C-alpha cells in the first residue's frame, strides 16, 4: 500500500460532510477526495479535494480508481442513490479496491404512526386518494411522477427547483427540511396537508416531518428503500471511521474515542 493511501468519498449527504472533516483530522497521512454528482449546485466546502460530476459509469469509475491508485472508496451517498452504489460496488470489485458504505438505518414506525408502505413512486401515486392535499418529499427529479394527478393538490419541497415546472396549482417550497417537529407541523397546517409522501431516508435531519405527521394524525405513504449491493456497511459516522481504520491498517483511532458519545 502507498505510504499515503487515497480515499475516495462519494458524498452528497450530511454524514459525508462529517466524514470528510473527520477523515482529514483522524487520518492525516491519507489523501481524501470528495466526489459530488453535481445534482445540487449549492455545494458545501468539505475542506478536502473535491470533484464534481459523474465518472462515466462503471468503466469510467474503474479507470479513475486505477489512475489515482485509490485505496478505499467510502460510499456516503443518499440511501436512494442506488445507481451510484451499484456502480461503486462493481467498479471497486473490478479495480480490486476496498469499499465501505455508510448505510444509515431506515426509519421504523412507532406507536401513533399511520404508515402505508409503497414499493416505488408509481405505487405511492396510486395510493393517493382523490382530493388529497399532499406533501411530496421525494426529490426534484422524481416529483414528475405525480404530475398527472389533476385531482389532488401538492406541496413539493426541494433545495433547488425541479428540471421541469410543477403544475400551476401546486406549491413549490424551496427549503431544506425543518429542524423541529413544531416547524414542520406549522408548515403542514399552513397548507392544510392531509397526507405526506417521503422517502425513508433514515437519520435525524429530516425526521421532523415524520414526527409532525404523527402528532397531526396524518397518514404517511412511505417509499421503500431500493435494493443495494451487499457490501461492508457502517450505520453511522463513528463506525465508518473505525471500519476505515481497520481496512486501511492505520491504527490511528482509539476505540475509546469511537465508543464515546
pTM given for the model? 0.87
The secondary structure of residue 21, as a DSSP letter, is: H
More confident residue, 205 or 145: 145
pLDDT tens per residue across span 219-228: 999 999 999 9
Tell the residue number behind the cell numbers 457490501, with chain if given: 231
What would the mean pLDDT of 114-118 be, rounded to a whole number?
98
Considering only 2-11, 191-200, 206-215, which range has the smallest mean pLDDT? Answer: 2-11
Question: What is the rounded distance in angstroms from the CA atom of residue 7 to the CA atom of residue 181?
Answer: 37
What would the mean pLDDT of 249-258 be, rounded to a whole number?
52
Considering only 84-88, 145-149, 234-238, 251-255, which range has the smallest mean pLDDT? Answer: 251-255
Q: How confident is the model at residue 160 (pLDDT cuts 50, 70, 90)?
A: confident
What would the mean pLDDT of 39-65 be, rounded to a whole number?
85
Helix/strand/coil for 113: coil
The dihedrals phi and psi of 198, each to the nearest 5 degrees, come to -110, 165
Domains delineated in the chain: 6-105+226-259 (3.40.50.720), 115-223 (3.40.50.720)
Per-residue pLDDT at 92 exceeds 90? yes
More confident residue, 13 or 152: 152
Mean pLDDT of the chain: 90
Give the burial class of 155: count Cβ atoms within 10 A of its Cβ; 0-12 exposed, 13-18 middle, 19 or more buried.
Answer: buried
Amino acid at each position: 500500500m502507498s505510504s499515503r493511501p487515497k480515499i475516495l468519498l462519494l458524498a452528497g449527504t450530511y454524514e459525508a460532510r462529517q466524514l470528510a472533516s473527520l477523515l482529514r483530522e483522524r487520518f492525516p497521512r491519507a489523501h481524501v477526495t470528495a466526489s459530488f454528482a453535481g445534482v445540487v449546485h449549492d455545494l458545501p466546502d468539505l475542506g478536502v479535494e473535491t470533484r464534481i460530476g459523474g465518472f462515466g459509469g462503471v468503466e469510467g469509475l474503474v479507470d479513475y480508481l486505477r489512475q489515482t491508485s485509490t485505496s478505499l472508496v467510502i460510499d456516503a451517498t443518499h440511501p436512494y442513490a442506488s445507481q451510484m452504489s451499484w456502480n461503486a460496488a462493481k467498479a471497486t470489485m473490478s479495480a480490486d479496491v476496498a469499499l465501505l458504505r455508510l448505510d444509515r438505518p431506515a426509519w421504523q414506525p412507532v406507536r401513533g404512526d399511520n404508515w402505508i408502505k409503497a414499493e416505488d413512486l408509481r405505487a405511492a401515486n396510486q395510493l393517493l386518494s382523490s382530493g388529497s392535499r399532499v406533501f411530496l418529499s421525494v426529490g426534484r427529479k422524481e416529483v414528475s411522477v405525480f404530475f398527472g394527478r389533476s385531482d389532488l393538490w401538492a406541496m413539493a419541497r426541494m433545495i433547488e427547483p425541479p428540471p421541469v415546472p410543477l403544475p400551476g396549482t401546486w406549491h413549490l417550497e424551496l427549503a431544506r427540511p425543518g429542524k423541529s417537529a413544531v416547524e414542520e407541523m406549522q408548515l403542514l397546517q399552513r397548507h392544510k396537508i392531509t397526507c405526506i409522501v417521503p422517502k425513508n431516508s433514515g437519520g435525524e435531519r429530516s425526521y421532523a416531518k415524520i414526527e409532525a405527521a404523527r402528532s397531526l394524525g396524518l397518514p404517511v405513504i412511505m417509499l421503500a428503500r431500493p435494493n443495494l449491493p451487499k457490501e461492508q456497511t457502517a450505520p453511522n459516522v463513528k463506525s465508518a471511521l473505525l471500519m476505515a481504520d481497520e481496512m486501511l491498517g492505520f491504527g490511528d483511532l482509539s476505540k475509546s474515542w469511537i465508543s464515546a458519545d
